[in-house]
Amino acid sequence: MAKVSPSTLVIIVMCCYWATIAASQSMKYKDPKQPLNVRIKDLLSRMTLEEKIGQMTQIDRSVASADVMQKYFIGSILSGGGSVPAKEASPEMWIDMINGFQNGSLATRLGIPMIYGIDAVHGNNNVYKATIFPHNVGLGVTRDPELIKKIGAATALEVRATGINYAFAPCIAVCRDPRWGRCFESYSEDPAIVRQMTELIPGLQGDIPANGRKGVPYVGGKEKVVACAKHFVGDGGTTKGINENNTVISPHNLFSIHMPAYYDSVLKGVATIMISYSSVNGAKMHGDHQLVTNFLKNDVKFRGFVISDWQGIDRITDPPHANYTYSILRSVEAGLDMIMVPLNYTEFIDGLSYLVTNNFIPMSRIDDAVKRILRVKFVMGLFENPLADTTMVKHLGSHEHRELAREAVRKSLVLLKNGRTATEPLLPLPKKSAKILVSGTHADDIGNQCGGWTIEWHGQSGNITIGTTILSAIKNTVDPTTEVVYQENPTPEFIKSNNFSYAIVVTGEHPYSETVGDSLNLTIPEPGPTTITNVCGAVKCVVVLITGRPVVIEPYVSNMDALVAAWLPGSEGQGVADVLYGDYGFTGKLARTWFKTVDQLPMNVGDPHYDPLYPFGFGITTEPVKSS
């Protein structure tokens, strides 16, 4: 080995040191010690129009590749509902896929990393074996913001477990009409409850540090994810609850019902806001300069980025995509920063380049969009940690998270009826009986109890992921001497020929998402009503309803001995049995009005024609049974 004198060594070390300093001074955006605005400014000044437009483009996983990322400078990828690398993909497969895409982004001239978004709306729900939390309609019942924050933190860990760093949650819609197919994504008809539940945001993104500024995007590092308040604004107020439709509303009601939770979200540092497909008084939100730029950006001072919904800009015209150049112009002018294109990205990129090159859209608007996107990417530490590793995999579907989901299930149940008379309650049920009957299409079906946005976009009935069905939860809970008979839809003869002590009927709606969930009649599909009638007509019964919203139940209630609204509880069915059998008491209070007939709708608490079957805030409470 050649000998190097100590003095030469000192010179070499000094040279390396100065070279590094010089490089980072010339590439300020790469230096995490530089102030945020210096990094943003430095990077923006280096970018070509092509690179800027790439940042504004979000594409779906199905059309992404490392080459596409590199060639078009794409700023973001998403997984749409059910868009997974493979059926039952392991977290390692997710990580490999995402790192593969990221390496494409890092290989670009400036090496700007992409962010990867997914609808983690009740846990990391597209992912096999993830913990599936109750949908928002159930969480609103808990009125427990601390619990919701913990769910956010757990969801962030499970999202990071798959290498993902951006969740399209929370949905802060205020559903004013249960005929809306997305009512289950809404915490409540009451804006005050929805405001409380924005605690999901610090859960997902982390708490703004004590010396940090409120109201600016904040994402606390590698165990947290970027959140997204959606869908701005008025998505839950459309006429007859028709999805993506028109919200006819006075300014006063728009700002007192649908807007308040956005103030809270911005204050809590939400990094992104998604625009609604719907319109306000006939104006499509995707083209609404007044509400997006003048109000949200200028008045409220939102500093994160505004993202479109999936092909949302296409739907500015009727029929959708009739004039795509116009759609790009209107949406970017309105103030949208990132466009969830998400399939035909070259059409978007070419269209936007044309509009900027020909001065239809000023460069200042493009720079505003890109600055906001880069701000979020810098704040979250993406430049320092662009690649995922397997250290977080252990969090996916962990025991701790399943216990948290189980607690949320317990607190989301609402006891609507308990006994034919108040003096003879049926619940809590005795653990020890000779023989009991469990019935209904939702008693032994993980997919049904999870609802939409689970594994598939619309969810799916059947054994679609790991969890505890309500039937297995009941079996786990009763005394070993109790015989549990399960018949999905038993005949009256069968029931009468057996000597059941009591029956539990678990039935309700089948999974759906978005427009296919719209319903003008809100009836429970057959055989639900038949099962209720047959079982409750023959033996003492409790009905557990699995639904995304209040449904038509009045005709059957007099027949039942007890009725529990369990909403869409998710993978941890044990929480239902915990409360039915008195290990815990019922505490839940309706966060929605339960109507008598659909012709009363819309009907929300405070309305002059208010005449509900069960009013907002109703819920019978029980004490836990003391174990002897």
Can you give the binding site for ligand BGC, defined by CB under 6 A?
Answer: 80-83, 119, 168, 230, 309-310, 457, 514
From 264, 309, 407, 561, active-site residue: 309
Catalytic site includes residue 493: no
Q: Given the complex with ligand BGC, which of 181 and 206 has the nearer CB atom?
A: 181
Residue type, 175: C
> Torsion-angle region of residue 438: left (phi > 0), alpha (psi -120 to 50) or beta?
beta
Are 331 and 277 in contact by the 8 Å Cβ rule? The answer is no
Q: Given the complex with ligand BGC, which of 285 and 551 has the nearer CB atom?
A: 285
Residue 171 DSSP symbol: B
Smallest gap from Cβ 392 to ligand BGC, in A, equals 23
Q: Given the complex with ligand BGC, which of 169 and 565 has the nearer CB atom?
A: 169
CA distance 543 to 531: 10
Residue 325 tokens, joined: 């150049």
Smallest gap from Cβ 460 to ligand BGC, in A, equals 13
CA distances from 205 to 154, 223, 601, 614 (A): 11, 9, 37, 36
Smallest gap from Cβ 516 to ligand BGC, in A, equals 10
Residue type, 601: L
Smallest gap from Cβ 136 to ligand BGC, in A, equals 12
Smallest gap from Cβ 82 to ligand BGC, in A, equals 6
Residue type, 63: V
Q: Given the complex with ligand BGC, which of 82 and 138 has the nearer CB atom?
A: 82
CA distance 267 to 288: 22
From 190, 514, 572, 578, active-site residue: 514
Smallest gap from Cβ 515 to ligand BGC, in A, equals 8
Q: Given the complex with ligand BGC, which of 81 and 152 has the nearer CB atom?
A: 81
Q: What number of CA atoms fall less than 13 Å from residue 626's CA on the CB side?
A: 1
Strands 246-247 and 272-275: unpaired
Instruction: Dump the DSSP string for 536-549.
Output: HHHS-EEEEEE-SS
CA distance 625 to 628: 9
Q: Given the complex with ligand BGC, which of 196 and 278 has the nearer CB atom?
A: 278
Q: What is the chain's length?
A: 628
Taking CB atoms, the residue at the shortest distance from ligand BGC is 80
Smallest gap from Cβ 244 to ligand BGC, in A, equals 8
Q: What are phi and psi for residue 124, nearest 5 degrees?
A: -85, 70
Helix pair angle (345-357, 324-334), 10° resolution: 70
Residue 194 tokens, joined: 């929805």
Q: Given the complex with ligand BGC, which of 119 and 199 has the nearer CB atom?
A: 119
Residue 610 tokens, joined: 């208010």
Catalytic site includes residue 367: no
5-30 burial: b if 16+ Cβ within 10 Å, else e: eeeeeeeeeeeeeeeeeeeeeebbbb
Q: Which residues are catalytic?
A: 309, 514
